[in-house]
Chains A and B, each alone.
Chain A
């Protein structure tokens, strides 16, 4: 059983569409990170959210941390083929880091 549940597991959309992926848990985290991973490489950090209710924007990406610090969402506006990849959320509790299984996004031109 995953501590962090990500949904959907797979998502295939056309270029220009909007999408939201979710990261949910029954546990409270002191911080939550979103990463993107491309085949054959390690995950690359996109953002860290720390405060409940926090919203962060990174160009076309909007990240939200739930008020109770148990869940998060990532919204991508006008997706591009370059956004294709595995999106992972990770929660930190004390010194322990736990990852979700990821959402595999494919953006078709």
Chain B
């Protein structure tokens, strides 16, 4: 099993550009999450999904959008990138309790 995979690993965006961060899991988990982690901080929940077709806002959803058309995929969309979105983004999936994290995407907006 690959677990949770994320692409790209690194990306530099100019202010106002858009991009999609990809996340795929092969564990047949219903729950999936997107977090951002700023330097020296813990993780903040952006969006989560409890199953295909269902998404909900987390703690810091502004500036982001998600979709969940399949169980496996949970892409995160940035429409108009801003410097405040410079961060490391982690995708995770979970069964009942445990969360499994992807390796992260390091995004810089300049």
Contacts and interface: CB of A to CB of B under 8 A. Distances in A.
Interface of A: 2, 4, 6, 31, 33, 40-45, 48, 50, 88, 90, 92, 95-102, 104
A40 B101 CA distance: 12
Q: Is the interface of A mostly helix, strand, loop or mixed?
A: strand
A41 B103 contact: yes
Interface size class of B (residues with CB under 8 A): 20 to 34
Contacts of B98: 33, 45, 48
Given A50-B97, A90-B99, A99-B44, 13 more contacts: A2-B42, A42-B4, A42-B102, A43-B99, A45-B99, A45-B100, A92-B97, A95-B56, A96-B45, A97-B33, A97-B45, A97-B48, A99-B43
Contacts, number: 58
Contact of B48 (A42, A44, A96, A102): A96
B103 A42 contact: yes
